[in-house]
Structure 1
């Protein structure tokens, strides 16, 4: 146990802390987090459109007319379906902030560069004949979830170029007395011109290849292999929950670190599920970010099960009180009282079930969905504080999702119980010793 703790404290923790603070990963993570409220808003309207209740679609048509279904989904169109534009702006802004340079100019250059790299045309079918329409920014496609990887790369490259010009002083410097807003605008002129020219050249070069656009190149060579090999299979899911739990074991928020890396590969998968549901088909993908939301029952490590064990099985007064105090936060997936109060962080006994519990229910949930015993995630994003069981129902749009989370809680309780029993026995002995010592002191 001492060797495990020594490794975690002296080897793993410094590496993980450095990774969490890496400038570019932090910008990607914070960029996605900044946009997350808008995805939740879009998801709420998806739920309204496709609420999992018999006769809901017919009721909408009866009350509001046949066009209502497409009208109510418009908020989804302006969030999900053009999210690459938001993401490139958000990441550019966050990275520029870390360099302490003009964030707004970086964001605008990021958007302009992304559009320069993206097809500005679409095709429409009229009476069986396909027509190409130029000068059109489409809703969905490369401007939606499929373009996220290019959006990330564009944001990082553009901001790095912008920062280089600013730090090297290759800018137009205005005389003193010129308003700061005007001065900042002109300082972006030279780097902006070079950046736009560079992106235009990249577009021209890719037009000479079979790929035509950088999006198709990145999607086929990076995004699709990553989705199949890492993001959208059971081994990748196990690796994800293992990494998040291991990071939490040393006090780092593993979700923000790992999700920031994996989210670009998950988003297209959940968008494909949404598209399938809109088309009246079953969701094709099991692994989405919402699949992992169902795993973290009570927070990272699925620690709501620990709360129940402390409340109803622990003999230690301290543990029982900790369980009671942790119940309300745990029901909203906030686990800090357990992680730092039990504690689980840097506790070799607690680290083992912290990792085993999520891994076990990841396997159970994946297989249950693969065998169609439980409905798959619809792709709808709900607030992470949504209480378990309700959460499972909303994510899958089916009662089976709620039942699965109940089963998950029982599984995690079984895994944690032997370890809780060890810690509880030790805590009870310490409490009895304190009572004994206090009694001896009173006698004296």
Structure 2
């Protein structure tokens, strides 16, 4: 029985999952999150240093650094997803403008309040980890439209028009369409798409933030690793929940409350991944203490 399970996982299940991992759409999300992680590290470091203010009252307020590092995580991801996806699709010439368009659409869908004088007001917390799901959706949508447009150029390959001019016109229609979609949702329909996305993914967040769900979110990637499947395949679904939980914990503690979300990357690093994924530090200690000499 066990041999049949191992054979199924190794020869049938693993190759299919590895195809998903190598899919450019999934890989673009993974690369975007990995590229933006230094912002999380900076924000976490500043948060730890800020705790010392409870002891040394003379320390300056570093919260602004955290707000514009970890607090801009979603904004950065909304740029990086179209950037990496266009690169992986072989449309590197359009990756910068695609990333910029993803950033602009993300900001439109944050549902800013615009006064008659032209002043726009955003909710700062939406730029951070709580906006990751929206950043992923907007980034993938922009990538889809821009990639389609890149395959259907308005000009022939042998056109005498300079390449940069061709790029301008090829980007004009897809960018206009993308921004019209954002305008229609935000202005015409008056829909706070950020809240819609949060509501749509709230069941997943509740499951992962429960103790059984958190255990599964840690166990499944490790289980997949045993069959040669990269655990990063779970990142697009799990990591936004982890980051949103971390942001909620940080906000609660900053307001004098308690951190209640257990499913965060920091929890994994501190406990289940101590010494490596699968708690390999415990294995090393056991080998040191329990192994016998040859």
TM (norm. structure 2) is 0.89
Residue in 2 aligned with 1:244? 221
Residue in 2 aligned with 1:45? 46
Residue in 1 aligned with 2:103? 111
Q: Where do residues 5-154 of structure 1 align in structure 2 (5 Å cutoff)?
A: 5-51=6-52, 56-61=53-58, 64=59, 68-69=60-61, 72-101=62-91, 102-121=94-113, 134-140=119-125, 142-154=126-138
| Cα distance change, pair 161–177 in 1 and its aligned pair in 2 (3 A) | closer
Aligned counterpart in structure 1 of residue 173 of structure 2, from 174, 185, 190: 190
Q: Compare CA radii of gyration and give the structure with the larger one.
A: 1
> What's the offset of the Cα at 1:289?
1.9
Residue in 1 aligned with 2:268? 292
- Which deviations, in whole Å up to 9, do the C-alpha atoms of 1:58-106 show, x marking residues without a partner? 4142xx5xxx22xx12211112223221110011111111111111111
Quote the Cα distance in structure 2 between the aligned partners of 1:29 and 1:2. Answer: 33
Quote the Cα distance in structure 1 between the aligned partners of 2:229 and 2:151. Answer: 33
Larger RCO, structure (CA 8 Å, separation 6 or more): 2
1:257 maps to 2:227 = no
> Could you tell me whether the CA contact under 8 Å between 2:24 and 2:89 is conserved in 1?
no
1:219 maps to 2:204 = no
> Could you tell me whether the CA contact under 8 Å between 2:81 and 2:140 is conserved in 1?
yes
Instruction: Specify every segment of 5 or more residues in structure 1 that has no aligned partner in the other structure, as ranges.
Output: 124-131, 318-444
Quote the Cα distance in structure 2 between the aligned partners of 1:111 and 1:100. Answer: 21
1:269 maps to 2:248 = no
- Which deviations, in whole Å up to 9, do the C-alpha atoms of 1:201-221 show, x marking residues without a partner? 2223431xxxx311112212x
Quote the Cα distance in structure 1 between the aligned partners of 2:35 and 2:101. Answer: 19
> What's the offset of the Cα at 1:111?
0.9
> What's the offset of the Cα at 1:121?
2.3
Quote the Cα distance in structure 2 between the aligned partners of 1:172 and 1:214. Answer: 38
What is the number of equivalent residue pairs in this alignment?
289
- Which deviations, in whole Å up to 9, do the C-alpha atoms of 1:369-427 show, x marking residues without a partner? xxxxxxxxxxxxxxxxxxxxxxxxxxxxxxxxxxxxxxxxxxxxxxxxxxxxxxxxxxx
Query: Helix, strand or coil: the match of 1:59?
Result: coil
Instruction: Specify every segment of 5 or more residues in structure 2 that has no aligned partner in the other structure, as ranges.
Output: none
Quote the Cα distance in structure 2 between the aligned partners of 1:37 and 1:145. Answer: 13
TM (norm. structure 1) is 0.60
Query: Helix, strand or coil: the match of 2:121?
Result: coil
Quote the Cα distance in structure 2 between the aligned partners of 1:194 and 1:286. Answer: 41
> Could you tell me whether the CA contact under 8 Å between 1:122 and 1:138 is conserved in 2?
no
- Which deviations, in whole Å up to 9, do the C-alpha atoms of 1:290-349 show, x marking residues without a partner? 2222211221111112222223322365xxxxxxxxxxxxxxxxxxxxxxxxxxxxxxxx
Q: Quick check: 305-314 or 150-159, which moved more? A: 305-314
Aligned counterpart in structure 1 of residue 189 of structure 2, from 196, 206, 212: 206
> Could you tell me whether the CA contact under 8 Å between 2:21 and 2:233 is conserved in 1?
yes
**Cα RMSD, aligned residues only:** 2.5
- Which deviations, in whole Å up to 9, do the C-alpha atoms of 1:199-248 show, x marking residues without a partner? 212223431xxxx311112212x1222211x2110121122122112111
Query: Helix, strand or coil: the match of 2:97?
Result: helix
> Could you tell me whether the CA contact under 8 Å between 1:39 and 1:79 is conserved in 2?
yes
> Could you tell me whether the CA contact under 8 Å between 1:117 and 1:199 is conserved in 2?
yes
> What's the offset of the Cα at 1:5?
2.5
> Could you tell me whether the CA contact under 8 Å between 2:36 and 2:77 is conserved in 1?
yes
> What's the offset of the Cα at 1:11?
2.3
